[in-house]
Amino acid sequence: MITHSICKSLCTPPDVLRLGFSVWARNSPKDYLSIYPKAAEEVQKKIGAKNVFLCALVDDVWPIIALSRTHIEQQNISNQFITLLPNLGFHEVHLVSDFVRDVTLGTYLPYATRVTISEFWKLLPQSKKNILDNLTLNEILGFLWHIHVLQIALREFKLTGLLVGIRSEFFYLTARKLLSSCDVYFINTS
């Protein structure tokens, strides 16, 4: 299930692994998400940790903005995540609106000074490159926002690593220098 990982070289593995999984609450959650708790166990076995906790980071802020949703509309979808994910094996579920309180430009724009256009270009999926004329600067904004969310989550929930679908590999490779304090495990979701 785990294809590969980017890890700090540790002499001794931590007793407790705290892994994060970030998900954009755009649509109702699907059962395929159960793959992540299984992957978390695989990571635990692989590195020999005693325990593993998997935290879902449910982004309920970006959909409100990007999809022009009302808070009530979003809340309906977010509630489905809160209900379903523990049943799928997630140990904790956190809504981004609960732990990222400062959403002002000054907090996340500085990340943009440390990422180049070329790096960003690599992370853009081919499907988006095909419609480049329709893309706006919000592609950059979304990227910065996601970095900001992960950065806060890492600190707030004392995460030691992140589980990531292989399709997001470019994002994490690009974000790696900004999120250097955590391990990243790539999961084959196909």
Partner 1 sequence: MKKFDQQFFTRDSESWVGMEVDELVGFLLPKCQEVITTDRLRQKISKHSTLKVKFGIDPTASEIHIGHVVPIMLLRQFAKAGHHIDFIIGDFTARVGDPTARDTSRVPLNPEQIMKNMETYTSQIGKYIDLRMLNIHYNAKWLNPMTLQEIFTIFQNVNLSEAMQREDFRMRMRNEQAVSLAEVCYGVLMGIDSVYLGTHVEIGGIDQLLNFQQCRKIMRQFSMDEEIVLMTPILEGTSGDGRKMSKSYGNYIAVNATHEDKFGKIMSIPDRLIGQYFRCFADVHQRELDDLDVFIEENPMEAKKQLATLIVAAETRCIENGLRERESFERKFSRKNICHEDCIELTEDLNSTIFDALIKSGRFKSKSELRRLFEQQGVRSINEDGEVVLSPEIVVNQVCGVVRVGKRHFFRFITG
Enter the tokens of residue 44: 């635990």
Residues whose CB falls within 8 Å of the CB of residue 122, separated by 6 or more in sequence, listed in order: 170, 173, 174
d(C-alpha 87, C-alpha 28), whole Å: 15
Torsion of CA 65, 67, 69, 75, to 10 degrees: -90
When asked if residue 181 is in the footprint of partner 1 (CB under 8 A), the reply is no
Question: Which residues in 11-30 contact partner 1 (CB under 8 A)?
Answer: none
Question: Which residues in 101-160 contact partner 1 (CB under 8 A)?
Answer: 103-106, 109-110, 112-118, 120, 132-133, 135-141, 143-145
When asked if residue 178 is in the footprint of partner 1 (CB under 8 A), the reply is no
Q: Are 132 and 159 in contact (CB under 8 A)?
A: no
Query: Which residue's CB is nearer to partner 1, number 40 or number 64?
Result: 64
Phi then psi dihedrals of residue 54, to 5 deg: -110, 120
Question: Which residues in 50-69 contact partner 1 (CB under 8 A)?
Answer: 61-62, 65-66
When asked if residue 70 is in the footprint of partner 1 (CB under 8 A), the reply is no
The residues that touch partner 1, with contacts defined as CB under 8 A, are 61-62, 65-66, 103-106, 109-110, 112-118, 120, 132-133, 135-141, 143-145
